[in-house]
Amino acid sequence: MLDSLPYELPELVTRAPLDTHRSTVLPEWVDWNGHMNVAFYVTAFDQASGAFMRNMGLGRRYVDGKLGMTFVLETHVTYDREMREGAPMRFSTQLLARDAKKVHLFHEMFHGEQGYLAATNETIVMNIDYATRRSAPWPAPVAVRLEELWQTHKDLLKPAKAGRVMGLSKK
Amino acid sequence: MKLPPYPMVEPDLSAPFDQHRATVLPEWIDWNGHMNVGFYVVAFDKATDTLANQFGCSWDYTREKIGMTFVIEAHVTYDREVKEGDPLRITSQILDHDAKRLHFIHCMYHGSEGYLAATNELMMMNIDYETRRSAPWPDWAMERLDKMAAAHKKLPVPAQAGRLIGIKRKK
């Protein structure tokens, strides 16, 4: 485990849920159906996970400094409504669980102006040692920040769309 | 039976469906030096097009303004890294279907080394072009889907299907 990180960490945001990430649907994210393609919802959510990690102190400098990386292990998306080119997006992020190496996150994507829920994403992200490319415990200062965030998130209600198993309900 | 106003490809009832091939493009690589999580889904979505072509609901279907297929839910497991230029083989297995929906899973393998790189379980819905709302599959699609589903029924359900996301929670 890394005992420290060789750069200054940003001021920790502990709002529950986190609500700082914003984005816009890019032209190249739109497919032949005239809306944001399924894959780019995942890209947009991945950027929201990136914002979560920056808040933890694991931004670009963590990778560029050859200290570590974060890998997504598994992800689940519900596509609730279409998004068109240029649409503004607002994200909210809830920490559902954490352990020594992983976080379990739940993101919601809203249309930035109209306010409707466009999609949700439940995801598991793991800390990776740069040299071995294998899982490793969070760096010590990150573990501390994660605990601080957990204290504000642990009592939030579990979102209705979290913990879904896919299947057709037969009549 | 109603036929589409374009030719359909020869039916392929091999189980699983195993036609889709791709290569990891340079622009699919992120700062961790491997295919980014969003582009796994880009690659899987192209395999979905190859599958949908089997039942006459791919690009021709939308170009002729008959209908579209929307993904309403997706689950991805990221099992191993793939790098720029790696060949990919993607198989598709139908798990279930009804009048409007199709539940299936793709498995992505490294094309030459053979290892499983990722899986993508999907719920897809048929959409009427005009109303952009759900509608029953056209006759030609239902006939092919019934046959493919019957052929795939003998396959074991992959362990990655029907997964619930989570990490073991500590007190």
Smallest CA–CA distance, residue A116 to chain B, in Å, is 16
By three-state DSSP, how is residue A40 classified? helix
ipTM of the complex: 0.94
* A74 to B78: CB separation less than 8 angstroms, yes or no: yes
Residue A167 within a domain: no
Would B134 be classed as within a structural domain?
Answer: yes
Nearest residue of A to residue B103 by CA position? A167
Q: How confident is residue A105, by pLDDT bands cut at 50, 70 and 90? A: very high
Residue B169: the pLDDT is: 57
Q: Is the bond into B11 cis (omega within 30 degrees of 0)?
A: no
Is B163 among the domain residues? no
Q: What range defines the domain where residue A140 resides? A: 22-153
Q: Which of residues 51-70 of A touch B (CB under 8 A)?
A: 60, 63-64, 69
Mean pLDDT of chain B: 96
Q: Closest to B39 (Cβ–Cβ): which among A39, A73, A76?
A: A39
* Residues A38, B76: C-beta atoms closer than 8 Å: no
Q: Is residue B71 part of a domain?
A: yes
Q: Crossing angle for the helix pair B37-54 and A38-56, nearest 10 degrees?
A: 160
User: What are the pLDDT digits (tens) for B47-101?
Assistant: 999 999 999 999 999 999 999 999 999 999 999 999 999 999 999 999 999 999 9
At residue A22, does pLDDT exceed 90?
yes
Partners of residue B75 in chain A, C-beta under 8 Å: 74-77, 166
CATH number of the domain encompassing residue B100? 3.10.129.10
Instruction: Name every chain B residue with its beta carbon within 8 A of the beta carbon of A97.
Output: 166-167, 169
What is the per-residue pLDDT for B52?
98
CATH number of the structural domain spanning residue A105: 3.10.129.10
CA nearest neighbour of B81 among B106, B104, B113, B105: B113
Domains: count for chain B: 1
* pLDDT > 70? residue A41: yes
Question: Least CB-CB distance to B68: which of A33, A43, A104?
Answer: A33
Tell me, yes or no, whether B168 lies in a domain.
no
- Assigned domain for A3 exists: no
Nearest to A93 by CA among A62, A132, A54: A54
Residue of A39, A99, A167 with shortest CB distance to B42: A39
Report yes or no: A135 and A127 within 8 Å, Cβ to Cβ: yes
Q: Is residue B162 one of the residues assigned to a domain?
A: no
Query: Inter-chain contact A76–B75, Cβ cutoff 8 Å?
Result: yes
Q: Does A169 touch chain B (CB under 8 A)?
A: no
Distance CA A104, CA A49 (A): 10
Q: How confident is the model at residue B171 (pLDDT cuts 50, 70, 90)?
A: very low
Is residue A169 over pLDDT 80?
no
pTM for the structure as a whole: 0.95
pLDDT at A58: 97
Distance from CA of B54 to the nearest CA of A (A): 18
Only one residue has tokens 């192209």, namely: B46
Averaged pLDDT for residues A39-48: 98
Between CA B62 and CA B161 the distance in angstroms is: 29
Question: What 3-state class would DSSP assign to A46?
Answer: helix
Residue A8 inside a domain? The answer is: no
Residue B167 lies in a domain: no
| Position A2 in a domain | no
**Domain range for residue B88?**
17-152
pLDDT in tens, B23-59: 999 999 999 999 999 999 999 999 999 999 999 999 9
Give per-residue pLDDT as tens, A60-93.
999 999 999 999 999 999 999 999 999 999 999 9
Asked, for residue A94, whether it belongs to a domain, the answer is yes
B62, part of any domain: yes
Looking at the structure of chain A, the number of domains it has is: 1
Q: Which two tokens stand for residue B152?
A: 């795939």
Give the closest-approach CA distance of A72 to chain B in angstroms.
7
Whether B136 is covered by a domain: the verdict is: yes
Is A6 contained in some domain? no
DSSP state of B94: E
Calculate the alpha carbon distances from A2 to A5, A109, A136, A138, B10 in Å: 7, 33, 9, 8, 57
Q: Do B45 and A99 touch (CB under 8 A)?
A: no
